[in-house]
């Protein structure tokens, strides 16, 4: 189980002047399950940097990650394997290491090809250095552009790395190995996603998945691309979004599903439009508007139209239960065919709690209110459920895997955002129907308030923000940018905390 202790996150800001990951920083508190953490970076047995591999354009699905249903149990920690040392850094890399503080991800494409496609990987040699020797890495794989609106901006797009073999990067996620990793651009504020992932680590109580991350310098074909956030791919995989995907050809509906509220649906993944009943909804402030529709993409594997129809019906039925509990004080349950039927023996609260992991929703409310993320009701909003019968974590619809906080930390630090109907600066409706509906109910608001007060009693967020502020000049130095832009994000979150403490 992926563990990020509060103590580790409080010290995460110190990582800006080092090269350990958030998950592996040494603190005075022993990380949970520390005996199970195995950090085993791959060591390439070569006396020279290997040439880039032949372009293979590895697919998004085949061989990407072992489905959780097929993963072998992790082996207990044994004697550390003796490996040959990596070759020394080149003269150029030594110069980079002496000039930079953060770790370096150094990508050389085959034939020095540019990386411009979102559809095809360019075969590459990927090196990680300017860190501890046991975290250094030389491996082959591919790199491509990722993202939607961010992919075409300024010539420094976000990237997705896909190794030919599974590797860990910089000790992230307790040293676990995966093929797919992500490099997110950090924008002028430098820490938008870093801040959100760190806050999620503090809020989620080690019970729900959120990406681990660390800041790095990225070089592509010898050219510095800037400071990026190295993080995990939001995908179905063991200890990421850990639902049971069907094996290839399995058309049964009793499998795991990962879903994204998606404002950029495409043929890459099956998707459907959900109108959230298109009915009047009154938010917690008394404002009434009709619910709006959103597209939902199925990010897990599916092999039949029946699976797509099943999860679409399920999601609509779950929202029907939530809506009727909130607006009509009426309880419904699901039958075996995912139809909603009246449940006079249940309270509306019990009806909701039977189908949705309410604690996971409270987590998302707190995170989204702290960050004021305008995308919360439009896209990059993930949920998952597993019908395989052997997954305790996702037996109910669960909200986790927060993503994409580029459009956050702006406007007033006072007032509700994710909890109420919201219009974004361009006039669009950014309201999240799930969160607005939940927050209209007194009993759920009480859950959020209790969770917030318990979190505030630890001062964990404030301590993290203080340590982060102290190290921002180091980050700004590597990025070649003033630290005040990043400090503005810290100040914004502090302002949100102050206001939330007046209402929660």
> Rounded to the nearest 5°, which phi and psi values hold at 397?
-60, 125
Distance in angstroms (rounded) separating the CA atoms of residues 494 and 489: 9
Distance in angstroms (rounded) separating the CA atoms of residues 497 and 503: 10
Report helix, strand or coil for 168.
coil
pLDDT for res 18: 36
> Rounded to the nearest 5°, which phi and psi values hold at 277?
75, -10
DSSP alpha helix (H) spans, 433-483:
433-439, 442-458, 460-479
pLDDT for res 149: 56
pLDDT for res 83: 61
DSSP at 14:
G
Q: Which residue's structure tokens are 């959780």?
A: 68
Closest of 178, 181, 175 to residue 121, by C-alpha: 181
pLDDT for res 17: 35
pLDDT for res 261: 97
Distance in angstroms (rounded) separating the CA atoms of residues 14 and 264: 36
Rounded (10°) angle between helices 484-503 and 460-479 = 160
CA 345, 350, 354 angle in degrees (round to 5)? 105
pLDDT for res 235: 96
Closest of 198, 159, 214 to residue 181, by C-alpha: 159
Average pLDDT per 10 consecutive residues for the chain, totaling 504 residues: 38 40 34 28 28 33 43 37 80 96 97 94 98 97 82 75 98 97 92 97 94 97 95 96 95 97 94 97 97 97 97 98 98 97 98 98 98 94 95 94 94 96 88 98 98 97 97 86 89 98 98
Distance in angstroms (rounded) separating the CA atoms of residues 386 and 257: 6
Q: Which residue's structure tokens are 């729900």?
A: 208
pLDDT for res 29: 31
Distance in angstroms (rounded) separating the CA atoms of residues 101 and 16: 8
- Which two tokens mark 494? 């502090």
Residues listed for the chain: 504
pLDDT for res 150: 55
Residue 321 β-bridge partners: none
Return the H-helix or E-strand segment holding 294: strand 294-298
Rounded (10°) angle between helices 460-479 and 442-458 = 70
């Amino acid at each position: 189980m992926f563990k990020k202790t509060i103590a580790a996150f409080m010290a995460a800001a110190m990582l800006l002047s080092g090269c350990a990951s958030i998950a592996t920083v040494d603190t005075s508190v022993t990380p949970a399950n520390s005996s199970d953490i195995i950090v085993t970076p791959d060591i390439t047995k070569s006396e020279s940097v290997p040439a880039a591999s032949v372009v293979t354009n590895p697919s998004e699905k085949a061989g990407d990650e072992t489905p959780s249903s097929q993963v072998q149990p992790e082996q207990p920690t044994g004697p550390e394997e003796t490996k040959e040392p990596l070759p020394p850094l080149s003269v150029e890399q030594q110069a980079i290491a002496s000039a930079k503080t953060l770790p370096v991800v150094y990508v050389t494409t085959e034939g020095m090809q540019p990386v411009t496609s979102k559809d095809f990987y360019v075969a590459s040699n990927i090196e990680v250095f300017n860190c501890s020797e046991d975290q250094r890495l030389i491996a082959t794989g591919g790199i491509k552009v990722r993202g939607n609106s961010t992919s075409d901006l300024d010539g420094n797009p976000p990237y997705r790395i896909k190794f030919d073999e599974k590797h860990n990067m910089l000790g992230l996620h307790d040293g676990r190995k995966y093929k797919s990793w992500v490099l997110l651009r950090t924008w002028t504020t430098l820490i938008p996603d870093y801040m959100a992932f760190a806050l999620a680590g503090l809020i989620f109580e080690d019970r729900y998945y959120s990406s681990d991350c660390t800041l790095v310098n990225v070089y592509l074909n010898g050219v510095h691309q800037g400071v990026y956030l190295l993080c995990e791919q939001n995908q179905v995989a063991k200890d990421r979004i850990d639902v049971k995907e069907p094996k290839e050809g399995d058309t049964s509906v009793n499998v795991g599903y990962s879903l994204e509220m998606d404002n950029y649906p495409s043929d890459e993944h099956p998707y459907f439009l959900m109108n959230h009943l298109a009915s009047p909804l009154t938010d917690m402030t008394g404002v009434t508007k009709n619910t709006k529709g959103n597209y939902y993409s199925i990010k897990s594997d599916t092999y039949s139209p029946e699976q797509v129809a099943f999860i679409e019906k399920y999601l609509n039925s779950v929202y029907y239960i939530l809506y009727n509990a909130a607006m009509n004080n009426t309880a419904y349950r699901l039958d075996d065919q995912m139809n909603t039927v009246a449940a006079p023996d249940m309270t509306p609260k019990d009806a909701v709690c039977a189908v949705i992991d309410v604690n996971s929703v409270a987590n998302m409310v707190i995170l989204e209110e702290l960050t004021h993320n305008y995308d919360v009701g439009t896209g990059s909003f993930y949920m998952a459920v597993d019908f395989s019968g052997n997954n305790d974590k996702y037996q109910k619809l669960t909200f986790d895997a927060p993503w994409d906080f580029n459009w956050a930390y702006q406007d007033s630090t006072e007032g509700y955002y994710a909890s109420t109907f919201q219009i974004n600066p361009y006039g669009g409706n950014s309201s999240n129907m799930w969160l607005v509906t939940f927050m209209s109910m007194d009993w759920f608001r009480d859950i959020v308030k209790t969770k917030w007060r318990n979190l505030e009693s630890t001062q964990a967020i404030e301590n993290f923000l203080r340590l982060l502020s102290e190290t921002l000049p180091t980050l700004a130095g590597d990025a070649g940018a003033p630290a005040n832009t990043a400090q503005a994000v810290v100040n914004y979150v502090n302002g949100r905390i102050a206001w939330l403490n007046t209402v929660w």
